[in-house]
Structure 1
Amino acid sequence: MYKKFSLLLGAVVLFSGCSIQQTVEPTSVSSGGELCIVENSKVREGFLKELQASLTANGVKNRLLPANASLVECEWTATYNARWTWDMALYMSFAEIKIYRNGAPDGSALYDSTRGGANMSKFIDAETKIRELVDQLLTKTALLKISQGGSAA
């Protein structure tokens, strides 16, 4: 009995460390508004391109600011960070997008598979994940439009 319990406990501990975390706190930036993005040259260029395309697809105008720009340079500002890791293949293991309004936090999206270990779900398509994070970030705006009698499409 003790041996079975020990094996079960060991399996639970082993696989609990193989989790992927994704949390999103929607922002109140609305479509038609402008979001300034502070450039992060340490992140692969493709991340920024997909971030901008996803914002545009959601009706949010955006423009790029230099890396040293202030968070209060625009009413709405975004920062981003991402990391790729090699484990049998190169994959995006971490992504974070933060939205600020007048310098104060207003929403964020985090994807973190750095503790994914043996979890094969970590091998995601980065572009699809970025779109998903942006769509979820802007959910509050879509819900607000629906509640006011508009449509989310």
Structure 2
Amino acid sequence: MIAKIAGISLALFALSGCAIHQNVKPVERFDSKTVCIVQNGNVRATFLDAYENALSNKGYEVKRLATDASLIACPVTSTYTASWRWDLAMYMSYADIIVYKNGKPSGKATYDATRGGGNMGKFIGAEKKITELVDQLFPRMAGS
């Protein structure tokens, strides 16, 4: 009996390190229907495409800015970063999206599966995860 309890405890302890964290602070309300995104050349282009599509589906017009653009280039500006890892298949292990209103932070979404270990949830498609983050980050449709 003790061996069985010890085995279960060890398994639970091992799985506790397989955490995926997601934290979203939704943007403050703003009237702009345009979101300017500062391009990040260190991130796969598919991330930006998915981010732009998710915003468009919420009624926002997206304007892509150069990598060296200022955060005050538009009333609503966003930056992003993401990374991928290999574990049986490629998966997005980390994503961070920050939205600025008039150059000041207005909202942030972070997805972190870097300690996902044996958690199979880490294999969610990047586009699906980005859409989920955008839906939480921008809870209202454009202009509402």
Q: Do Structure 1 and Structure 2 share a fold, with TM-score over 0.5?
A: yes
2:75 maps to: 75
Contact 1:30 1:60 in 2 (8 A): no
Taking structure 1 as reference, are residues 77 and 32 closer, same or farther at Cα in structure 2, changes over 3 Å only? Answer: closer
Q: Which runs of 5+ in 2 are unaligned?
A: none
The one-letter code of the counterpart of 1:93 is: S
User: Are 1:123 and 2:126 matched, yes or no?
Assistant: no
CA distance in 1, matches of 2:31, 2:40: 24
The 5 A counterparts of 1:1-153 are: 3=3, 6-28=6-28, 30=30, 33-139=33-139, 141-142=140-141, 145=144
Count of residue correspondences: 143
Compute the displacement of 1:23 (Å): 1.2
What per-residue deviation string (whole Å, max 9, x for no partner) do you get for residues 15-68 of structure 1?
111011111111135575211101100100011011111111101111111111
List per-residue Cα deviations over 1:46-102 (Å, max 9, x = no partner): 110111111111011111111111111211110011111100111111111110111
Spell out structure 1 runs of 4+ moving beyond 2 A. Answer: 1-13, 28-32
Q: Percent identity?
A: 45
Does the 8 A contact of 1:31 with 1:58 survive in 2? Answer: no
Q: 1:10 offset after TM fit, Å?
A: 2.7
Partner of 1:43: helix, strand, or coil?
A: coil
Distance 1:90 1:99 in 2: 27
- 1: CA distance, partners of 2:4 / 2:117: 24
Query: Residues of 1 paired with 2:35 and 2:5: CA distance?
Result: 53
Q: Report the secondary structure of 2:59's partner residue.
A: coil
Give TM-score, length-normalised by structure 2: 0.89
DSSP-derived class of the 1:63 partner: strand
Counterpart AA for 1:123: F
Distance 1:135 1:24 in 2: 10
Unaligned runs of 5+ in 1: 146-153
Report SS of the residue matched to 1:28.
coil
- Return the TM-score normalized by structure 1: 0.84
